[in-house]
A and B are shown apart, each in its own frame.
Chain A
Amino acid sequence: MNRFAELLDRLVLTPSRNGKLTLLRDYFRATPDPDRGLALAAITGDLSIAAVKPAMLRALVMERMDPILFGYSYDYVGDLAETISLVWPEPAEAPRDNAVPTLGDVVARLQAASRSDGPKVVAGLLDRLDVSARFAVIKLVTGGLRIGVSARLAKQALADFGKVDIVEIEELWHGLEPPYRALFAWLEGRAPKPEKGARALFRPVMLSNPVGDGDLDRLDPADYAAEWKWDGIRVQVSLEGGLRRLYSRTGDDISGAFPDLVEAMDFSGVIDGELLVGRPPEWTGTFSDLQQRLNRKTVAAKMRTKYPVFVRCYDLLQSGGEDLRALGFAKRRGELEQFVAALDPERFDLSPMVPFDDWQHLDRLRRAPPHPVVEGVMIKERRSPYLAGRPKGPWFKWKRDPYTVDAVLMYAQRGHGKRSSYYSDYTFGVWSGPEETPELVPVGKAYFGFTDEELRQIDKYVRDNTLERFGPVRSVRADRENGLVLEVAFEGLNRSQRHRSGVAMRFPRIARLRWDKPPAEADRIETLRAMLD
C-alpha cells in the first residue's frame, strides 16, 4: 500500500509526461501481483469498489476528534480527503497484527464490505495506515484519483515496461480483467500473449500524419482519395456477438454516455467514424455542441433531444464475421457504402468523398471548406490496408489554416522541469467594454509555439514588467500603451460558462510575438464572439 501511495503522491506533482511514464514503469517493475494490476485498474478507472460518501468519512473523523480543531484544519487545507488523511488519530492500541496492509488486502476488504459496514471497514483500514496511504484509500473509496494520468498514459507505460507497441495493449485491453496477471506475465516474457476475447474488442485505430513541406510533391494524386476531416471525436462502433460498444480513439469504452446511439446500432461489424452532434443530412453540430455530451456518466432525456449524436462513417473494419482490414482503402470504401445504406440514417451517414484533380485543387478546397464543422481534408492511399497506429505514408491530414487573434499578455506562470526558472505559461486577453475605456478580458492560456530564444525574450519582458506576484504567477503590465501583443493561433472556439469572456480556445499556441504592435490595436472580444456563430 505504501508503494502505491508514494506513486500517487509523485504522479500528482510530476508535470512531465516522461516523468510520469518513468514512475509508472518503475512501479510495475518493482511491485508484485496482484498489487500492480490493482493499481493499474485504479488508474484506468476499471477498479470497482463500493463507494463511501465524503459525508460518511467526515462523520467517522468527527467521532474521533474535536469538531472545532477539525474545522480549523479543514479550513486550512481545503480538501476533505487530504484533511482527513492528515488529522486521523492513530489508535491508542496498535492493531493486533502489525503488518501494513498491501493494496491487495485493502481492495479485498473494501470489495467484501457491504454498503452498511463500508464506513467501519474504511475506518479499520485508516487505523492501520500512514498519512499517504490513508489519502490513497480515501481517494479509492470516494472515486476518482485525479492524478493527471489518463488510461492511455498508463497503457503507454505498460507498453514501455514490456517493450511492446501500445496498440497491442489497446487491442487486448477490453478482454482483460484486473489484476491483469496474464498481461503482466506476457509483458515480463514469462508467458505467451493473452488470447483475445471473442467479442466486441477494440481494434487499434489507424491515424494520419500532417502534410509536411514537400510531402505531396512526391505523390501521384491519382493514387489517393480525399474526404473531409470532420470536427467531432473519432470513434469505433462495434457490434459483435450481440455486444454493442462505442470506443474512443484510445480504446476507452464510452458506450454509457451515448445510449441514443447504442440503441440504434443494428448490424454486425465494426465501423470507424466521427461522432458528431446533429441530425444528418441537414444539421451537423459544432464541437462545442458535442462537448455538451462528452464526459457524462448519465444523459438526461433533454440532452438527448437537444444534442442528438450520430456517426459519420469513414471506414469499415469488419463486416459480419469478416475482417476487412487487410483490404485496400478503395475496396473497404465500397463495402462501407453498402453497409451504411442499410443503417438508421438518423444515426449513421457516410462521409462524402472529395473529388480533386491535383494537389493545388485540393489545397483550394481545404482552405475553403463547404461546412463550418470541417477542419480540413484527409488524404488516403487507395490501396493501403487499415494499419494500427500512425504509419508514415498511407494517410495524411491537411488542416485548414488556424484562426489567429492578436491578444495582450496579462499573466505569466513559471513552467516545470526544464522550464522551471522561466515564465513560460502565458494568459492573454483581448479588449472588451466601451471603446474609450476598454478592459482586457482573459481568453486563453498558451505555453508553446515559441522558440527557445523567444522564450528568453518573453521571460525577460515578464520580469521587467511585473505588476504583482501570486506564488508562481506574475501579472504583467498591460494597458493601451504598454504591453506585449501575442499573435495566438487556435483551432476553434467553444462557448464557455467557466470563463469570464464566455469563450474557450481549442489548442491555442503562440504564433508570433508582435513587439511592433501597440496593445491598443489588439483584437476585441466581439471579434471572437462573432466566430462562435
Chain B
Amino acid sequence: MRASDLLHPRPEGLYCPAGDFFIDPVRPVARALVTHGHSDHARSGHGSVLATQGTLDVMALRLGPGFAGATQAASMGKPMKIGDAAVTFHPAGHVLGSAQIAVEHGGIRIVASGDYKRQPDATCTAFELVACDVFITEATFGLPVFRHPAASDEIASLLRSVEQFPERAHVVGAYALGKAQRVIRLIRDAGYDRPIYLHGALERISEYYQEAGVDLGPLEPATVDRSAKGDFTGAIVVGPPSAFADRWARRFPDPISCFASGWMRIRQRARQGGVELPLIISDHSDWDELTATIRETGAGEVWVTHGREEALVRWCQLEGIAARPLNLVGYEDEGD
C-alpha cells in the first residue's frame, strides 16, 4: 500500500480509512483524534474524541463539558488498535497535553506531528522523536528567517526593561493557552517573584496549569475595581494580544506593549502592531528545529502543512527527501 492510502486529506481533515478516523478535523466527524487543545485543531461537535487527558481537560475548559459525544484519554507511548490501524500518541512539546500521533498499518508508519517545538518548555512534556516513513510537519515558521533565540534571553530583556522603566507597566501579549503560562513560568525561572497580573481570559486556563503541577507563582487579576490605577506601576501584566488595542489596556500607567510571539522576529511585524518590546518566544519550531527534526525522523517522505510550505518543500528537495505540501484547510496560518 501507499502512504496516501493510510492517511489523506479530506474536506473535514486528515482521514485514515483503515481506522475510520480523522486527525484534528475542522468539521464535526464521528471519530476524531486531536493533537492539542488550540482552537483550530480542537473543535466541538464530534461523535467521539481521542486525545491525551491534558488536551481533553483543556477542551472541556474552553469548549464546555459537552464538547463531544464521548471522550477517551490516550496514554503517551501506548499503542492502541483502531480498526486495522495502530495508533500511538507521543509528546510534541507544543503546549500542555500536546501530542504527535503515529499511525501504522501495512508496514508503513506516518507521524502526524501537529504543532511542535524543540526548545525547552517547563509547562509541557518535551518533544519525543519518533522514527517514521512519512513525517507530517507544520510549517508556521517555515522560512529560513525564523530563528528563535533562547526564550530565557528574551525574558531577560523583559526584566531589564522592567528595571529600566519602573514608572511604567509592562503589558505582555501572549496567547491564552500555552504561551501565557510558559511566559509566566519563564519569568519565574528568571527569579521574578512579585505578583503577575492576568487578563480575565487567562485565569481559568492558568489555574488549570497550576492544578496540573506547573508552578506559576502568585497571580492576580488585572482588574481596576480592586486596585487604583497607580497600582500597576512597575507591574508585569499578561493578556491576550487582542486586548491591547482595547479599552482594557487604559487602566495601566503609560504601558510598554510587549508581545511574545515567533512573529516578533520580523521588525516590521512588531512595528505594525505598535509593539515596543518584542519577545521572540514561540511554541512552534523555528527553521532550524524544523529542518533538524525532519532529518532526525529519518522519514523518506515529508508532508508539509499549515504555514509556509514552499520553503520547507524546497529544502527537502535540496536534501534529497521527497516532499509535498499537504493542502489541509482551516488551520490558522497566523497561530502562535
The A292-331 residues at the B interface (CB cut-off 8 A) are none
> B76 on the interface (CB 8 Å rule)?
no
Write the chain A residue with the least CB distance to B251.
A421
CA distance A76 to B307 in the complex (A): 13
Segment at the B interface, from A9-17, A202-210, A243-251, A427-435: A9-17
Assess whether A73 is in contact with B270, with CB atoms less than 8 Å apart: no
Assess whether B245 is in contact with A73, with CB atoms less than 8 Å apart: no
CA distance A526 to B164 in the complex (A): 51
Interface SS majority for chain A: helix
Assess whether B315 is in contact with A69, with CB atoms less than 8 Å apart: yes
> B234 on the interface (CB 8 Å rule)?
no
The A219-248 residues at the B interface (CB cut-off 8 A) are none
The smallest beta-carbon distance between B276 and chain A, in angstroms, is: 5
Assess whether A471 is in contact with B273, with CB atoms less than 8 Å apart: yes
| Per-position 1/0 for B130-154, Cβ under 8 A of A | 0000000000000111110100000
| Per-position 1/0 for A413-452, Cβ under 8 A of B | 0101110111000000000000000000000000000000
CA distance A421 to B143 in the complex (A): 32
In the bound complex, residues from chain B placing their C-beta under 8 Å from that of A68 are 314
Segment at the A interface, from B7-15, B48-56, B261-269: B261-269
The smallest beta-carbon distance between B183 and chain A, in angstroms, is: 19
The smallest beta-carbon distance between B187 and chain A, in angstroms, is: 19
The B255-293 residues at the A interface (CB cut-off 8 A) are 255-257, 265-268, 270-278
Assess whether B276 is in contact with A416, with CB atoms less than 8 Å apart: yes
> B78 on the interface (CB 8 Å rule)?
no
In the bound complex, residues from chain A placing their C-beta under 8 Å from that of B266 are 76-77, 82
In the bound complex, residues from chain A placing their C-beta under 8 Å from that of B274 are 414, 416, 420, 472
Write the chain A residue with the least CB distance to B264.
A13
In the bound complex, residues from chain A placing their C-beta under 8 Å from that of B245 are 414, 420-421, 472
The B279-336 residues at the A interface (CB cut-off 8 A) are 308, 310-311, 314-315, 318
CA distance A131 to B265 in the complex (A): 10
> B248 on the interface (CB 8 Å rule)?
yes
Tell whether A83 pairs with B149 under 8 Å between CB atoms, given A72-B308, A471-B272: no
CA distance A350 to B124 in the complex (A): 77
CB contact between B244 and one of A22, A73, A79, A421 (< 8 Å): that residue: A421
In the bound complex, residues from chain A placing their C-beta under 8 Å from that of B276 are 13-15, 19, 416-417
The size bracket of the interface on A is: 35 or more
In the bound complex, residues from chain B placing their C-beta under 8 Å from that of A33 are none
CA distance A6 to B275 in the complex (A): 15
CB contact between B164 and one of A23, A79, A86 (< 8 Å): that residue: A23
CA distance A265 to B256 in the complex (A): 50
Assess whether B250 is in contact with A421, with CB atoms less than 8 Å apart: yes
Which of B144, B168, B257: most chain A Cβ within 10 A?
Answer: B144
In the bound complex, residues from chain B placing their C-beta under 8 Å from that of A516 are none
CB contact between B249 and one of A65, A79, A421 (< 8 Å): that residue: A421
> B231 on the interface (CB 8 Å rule)?
no
CA distance A65 to B147 in the complex (A): 15
Tell whether A421 pairs with B248 under 8 Å between CB atoms, given A68-B314, A69-B315, A78-B268: yes
The smallest beta-carbon distance between B15 and chain A, in angstroms, is: 30
CB contact between B257 and one of A22, A23, A420, A422 (< 8 Å): that residue: A420
CA distance A10 to B275 in the complex (A): 10
> B225 on the interface (CB 8 Å rule)?
no
CB contact between B278 and one of A13, A19, A73 (< 8 Å): that residue: A13
Assess whether A13 is in contact with B143, with CB atoms less than 8 Å apart: no
CA distance A15 to B276 in the complex (A): 8
In the bound complex, residues from chain B placing their C-beta under 8 Å from that of A421 are 244-250
Assess whether B277 is in contact with A13, with CB atoms less than 8 Å apart: yes
The B11-65 residues at the A interface (CB cut-off 8 A) are none
Tell whether A13 pairs with B270 under 8 Å between CB atoms, given A65-B144, A76-B143: yes
Assess whether B144 is in contact with A69, with CB atoms less than 8 Å apart: yes
| Per-position 1/0 for A39-82, Cβ under 8 A of B | 00000000000000000000000000110111011001111001
> A346 on the interface (CB 8 Å rule)?
no
> A87 on the interface (CB 8 Å rule)?
yes
Tell whether A72 pairs with B255 under 8 Å between CB atoms, given A79-B267, A420-B244, A471-B272: no
| Per-position 1/0 for A123-136, Cβ under 8 A of B | 00000001100000
Assess whether B144 is in contact with A73, with CB atoms less than 8 Å apart: yes
Assess whether A77 is in contact with B268, with CB atoms less than 8 Å apart: yes
The smallest beta-carbon distance between A368 and chain B, in angstroms, is: 44
CA distance A420 to B143 in the complex (A): 31
In the bound complex, residues from chain A placing their C-beta under 8 Å from that of B145 are 73, 76-77, 83, 86-87
CA distance A70 to B255 in the complex (A): 37
> A26 on the interface (CB 8 Å rule)?
yes
CA distance A83 to B276 in the complex (A): 21
The smallest beta-carbon distance between B200 and chain A, in angstroms, is: 16
> B165 on the interface (CB 8 Å rule)?
yes
In the bound complex, residues from chain A placing their C-beta under 8 Å from that of B244 are 420-421
> B5 on the interface (CB 8 Å rule)?
no
Tell whether A22 pairs with B254 under 8 Å between CB atoms, given A13-B275, A87-B145, A471-B272: no
Write the chain A residue with the least CB distance to B276.
A13
Assess whether B272 is in contact with A66, with CB atoms less than 8 Å apart: no
> B157 on the interface (CB 8 Å rule)?
yes
In the bound complex, residues from chain A placing their C-beta under 8 Å from that of B161 are 10
The smallest beta-carbon distance between B171 and chain A, in angstroms, is: 8
The smallest beta-carbon distance between B309 and chain A, in angstroms, is: 11
Assess whether B311 is in contact with A69, with CB atoms less than 8 Å apart: yes
CA distance A338 to B300 in the complex (A): 90
Write the chain B residue with the least CB distance to A87.
B144
CA distance A76 to B269 in the complex (A): 11
Assess whether A86 is in contact with B265, with CB atoms less than 8 Å apart: yes
In the bound complex, residues from chain A placing their C-beta under 8 Å from that of B246 are 421
Write the chain B residue with the least CB distance to A66.
B318
CA distance A183 to B47 in the complex (A): 75
Assess whether A12 is in contact with B267, with CB atoms less than 8 Å apart: yes
CA distance A6 to B268 in the complex (A): 16
Assess whether B144 is in contact with A472, with CB atoms less than 8 Å apart: no
Assess whether B165 is in contact with A22, with CB atoms less than 8 Å apart: yes
The B148-175 residues at the A interface (CB cut-off 8 A) are 149, 157, 161, 164-165, 168
Assess whether B143 is in contact with A73, with CB atoms less than 8 Å apart: yes
CB contact between A417 and one of B157, B254, B273 (< 8 Å): that residue: B254
In the bound complex, residues from chain A placing their C-beta under 8 Å from that of B277 are 10, 13
Write the chain B residue with the least CB distance to A75.
B143
The smallest beta-carbon distance between B64 and chain A, in angstroms, is: 30
In the bound complex, residues from chain A placing their C-beta under 8 Å from that of B253 are 418
Q: List 6 A-B contacts (CB under 8 A).
A: A19-B165, A66-B315, A83-B145, A86-B144, A414-B245, A420-B249
Q: What 6 A-B pairs have minimum CB-CB distances, sorted nearest first?
A: A86-B145, A421-B249, A87-B144, A471-B272, A72-B311, A73-B145
B interface residue numbers (CB < 8 A to A) = 143-147, 149, 157, 161, 164-165, 168, 244-250, 253-257, 265-268, 270-278, 308, 310-311, 314-315, 318
Given contacts A70-B144, A417-B276, A421-B250, 18 further A-B contacts (CB under 8 A): A10-B161, A13-B267, A66-B314, A68-B314, A72-B311, A76-B143, A76-B145, A77-B145, A77-B266, A82-B266, A83-B145, A86-B145, A131-B149, A417-B254, A418-B253, A420-B249, A471-B273, A472-B274
